[in-house]
Amino acid sequence: MIKTSSDIICFSLSRWDAPISSPALSLAKEFAKKNRVFYIDHPFSWKDLIAERNAPPVRLREKALLRRKDIYTSPAGFPPNLTIVTPPLSYPVNFLPPGKLYEWFSRINESRLQKTLRTVIRENSIREYIFINFFDPFFLRKLPEDIKPMKMVYQSMDDISQVGYTRRHGIRLEKEIIREADITLCTSMELTRLHAALSPNVHYHPNAADTTIFRKALTETLPVPEDMRELGKRIIGFTGSIEYRTDFELLKKLASYHQDKILFFVGPVQGDEHIRSGLHKMPNVIFAGARNINELPAYLQHFDCAIIPYKINKLTKSIYPLKINEYLAAGKPVVATHFSEDIYAFRDSAYIVNTSHEFCRAIDKAIFEDNAEKRTLRARVAEQHTWGKRVEQFWEIINAEPVQSKG
């Protein structure tokens, strides 16, 4: 039986100060309420250093990246048990084709990260620990003999084959790490099915939400954000990254159909599809930009309806959107496309639709039917999907008897 108070070392594709909230970081924060947690960021490459030298994330880590000084940090507001670790610079290798050259540089990157891992273990007197790789199979796929966690865990968060950049090497590398790991956790039902063929120890472990943050939109009176004060119309809102998963044609139809309302997006915009689609020119569409997670409840409180307008395709089939629980915790009516089994599981507390016409009509229905009783019921559903409950499930999985040893 592994103690639930054991130390945790995790390595994540998401850096702690990324512009959107990270499920990996949220889980690390929850672990840190009872465990010592060492969160190793995804490495910056030499290419990143040159291209982003004056960007705040690079400047913040300059001593650690260039001189290996101050590699540990404890950001303000984080649990005291959570330590962020900045790894050394890596060589950019994704552009290389599979083969000897890729493997040679990849081994150098691996060696540097392994050295960091040894340093963390030694300097913090870590004895018994769990190692978790949060969806970064490009590094630390296999640990050397002298680094021996009680369990090596890999978490798969998206279908790596459906994004051009990650597909190049990610498909084969993810297979390697799943076969190597003691346990693989998958954030969606589809991913669980896809990876079950690679290992007998694959488990469904979906995303969740920090309901204590988002419940404020339901239980407190929050100030209207400055960029929402003069709108004077009902608001259809979205929080999160606006990018390749977003159905921009659907959003154009929404903006045209609901000209009496505002489409309000809170989050970073990636790529230029919103420009190519003409969405940015529509008079009732507002892109507010990225906001800190603690600012989101004030925005959500003033949404009349929250949406998840994802495309319905192979990529989104493997997605469990953590924002569904954030929206529900805030008591908001939610309209979403039927992009995955995971979202359809919320059909009793959200409006899940198949077509753009249904989506447009569902928004009016959601706003009309909204009431205090429904808001309370939505919040109760969200309470079943907290990070605290996911940590409980994690330890149940860790301490279950494995089907068979890896390999």
Which domain CATH number covers 21? 3.40.50.11010
Residues 130, 223, single domain; the answer is no
Q: Are residue 34 and residue 132 in the same domain, yes or no?
A: yes
Shared domain check, 250 and 272? yes
pLDDT for res 166: 85
Read off the pLDDT of residues 336-392 as tens digits, 9 standing for 90 and up: 999 999 999 999 999 999 999 999 999 999 999 999 999 999 999 999 999 999 999
Look-up: residue for tokens 């303000």?
A: 76
Element (H, E) at 259: none
Residues 181 and 251 reside in one and the same domain: no
Out of 27-41, 130-144, 188-202, 268-282, least confident range: 268-282
Total domains in the chain come to 2
Q: Which domain holds residue 375?
A: 211-382
| Residue 137 placed within a domain | yes
The pLDDT, as a whole number, for residue 260 is 96
Is residue 202 domain-shared with residue 221, that is, in the same domain?
Answer: no
Closest CA to 378 of 323, 334, 322, 317: 334
Is 360 in the same domain as 391? Answer: no
Question: Comparing C-alpha atoms, which of 266, 303, 309 is closest to residue 20?
Answer: 266
How do residues 177-187 score in pLDDT, each as one tens digit? 999 999 999 99
Is 407 domain-assigned? no
CA-nearest of 211, 24, 35, 11 to 110 is: 11
Structural domain includes residue 357: yes
pLDDT of residue 268: 92
Q: From CA 165, how far away is CA 338, in angstroms rounded?
A: 26
Burial class (CB in 10 A: 0-12, 13-18, 19+), 312: middle
57 within some domain? yes
130 shares a domain with 109? yes
Q: Taking 90 as the threshold, does the pLDDT of residue 18 lie above it?
A: no
Residues 153 and 28 in one domain: yes
- Three-class SS state of 127: coil
404 belongs to a structural domain: no
The CATH number linked to 352 is: 3.40.50.2000
Amino acid identity at 357: H
- Looking at residue 406, its pLDDT comes to 53
Separation CA 374–CA 368 (nearest Å): 12
The answer on 119 and 23 residing in a single domain is: yes
What type of residue is 234?
Answer: R
